[in-house]
Structure 1
Amino acid sequence: MEDLSELLSLSASQSPPPERMLQILTAAAKLFATQGFDRTSMRDIAQECGISKATLYHYFPDKDSIIRPMVMGTTRSIFQHVSALDDPERPPLERLRTLMVETATFFERYRWAWIAGSAIFWNDPQVRRRKQRLEWRDRYETLLRSIIEEAIRRGDMRPMDVALAGRLVASTLSWLPRWYNPEGPLTAPEIADQFYGMIVAGFMPRPG
């Protein structure tokens, strides 16, 4: 079961949601991810939690109020997680490996919330909220591109379109939670580590 308390704290000064809200959010995340947001009802969520609909409505008036924290929380927290572990003094290829492996670690920890949130990332009718999410996503991509740019500058990678290279890495990782098997032979970070080796081998300068 995912522990969403840290993920859903909107700032360092805000306390995590109370236990009952976390139970609801966690159950809803899995239902949204496996059944789809539109096909999941408030009744489904209440039954999954073992509570009455009245209790559910006491905490959340509708499904939108449940999904919103997941979308914002995952978009913000993935950047905060990888940036906290990035060390600009390290060689860029080491930084890239850390970013990729730690992104997968985050996805493994918050798999259902990420799938549920990313599925409706673009569908929020409120422009301000959508803009905030895009700002956090852009911070992640800016960090990734800066690492690739530094690797190219040092000669660790051949010259290339940095934006496209960043999208390749980010897209490869963002689909990982949807298809990897938690019961399989490799963990998500181990898969990301193999992705790193494959991508970097293809990025290295061509001989001659």
Structure 2
Amino acid sequence: MTVVRVVVVDDEQMVCVFLRTILGSAEDIEVVGEAHDGAAGIETVARCRPDVVLMDLRMPGVDGLTAIERISEFADPPPIVVLTTFDADQYVMRALRAGAAGFLVKSTPPEDMIGLVRVAAEGHTVLSAAAARRLVAESTGSQPARDRARKLIKALTEREAEVLAGIGDGLSNAQIAARLYLSEATVKGYVSRMLDKLGCENRTQAGLIARDANP
């Protein structure tokens, strides 16, 4: 059995205790580290090398956004999932663009939290239901963002653009493969090349480009 190693970064100790208890109830998830501010979070991630990081945004000292940016610069950084009290947090979109793999409101039901951590460990975008609605509402960018996104997409092949559209629709590789009548391995290859051409760290950033291009 593969165990998903998780680091939790949140300045509220009760939140950390809650997450440690919830995630620890799953046999295949282990909380291997905990930090209460961004600076300590960066150090803990560097030391523990987790499979997933759960990161609060609003913390004293080095905030979560800065920590996400720095962790995203690591060689082979782990997926970072933002934890926020409100799905309307104004910093969430900035965090996604900085490299976060998704975000969850802290009120996400425990069973959903466990499942979404597993999904994040597999390299997929994770969004709680409320978060997904917010992302759709907020990801319609400005005209400069639309122009930039459309210019980037022009560098893609037709098939890569189709794969990007699938990511923008929130589809997994398997779902994109079914839509395009391709093997999942082939889709994975397209995703890798597409991310490189777009200069994206992960699928979430690519999905935002797709949404900016087609508001």
Pair in the same fold by TM > 0.5: no
Larger Rg: 1
- Give the helix-richer structure, 1 or 2: 1
TM-score in terms of structure 2 length: 0.29
**Which structure's relative contact order is higher, taking Cα pairs within 8 Å and 6+ residues apart?**
1
- Give the strand-richer structure, 1 or 2: 2
TM-score in terms of structure 1 length: 0.30
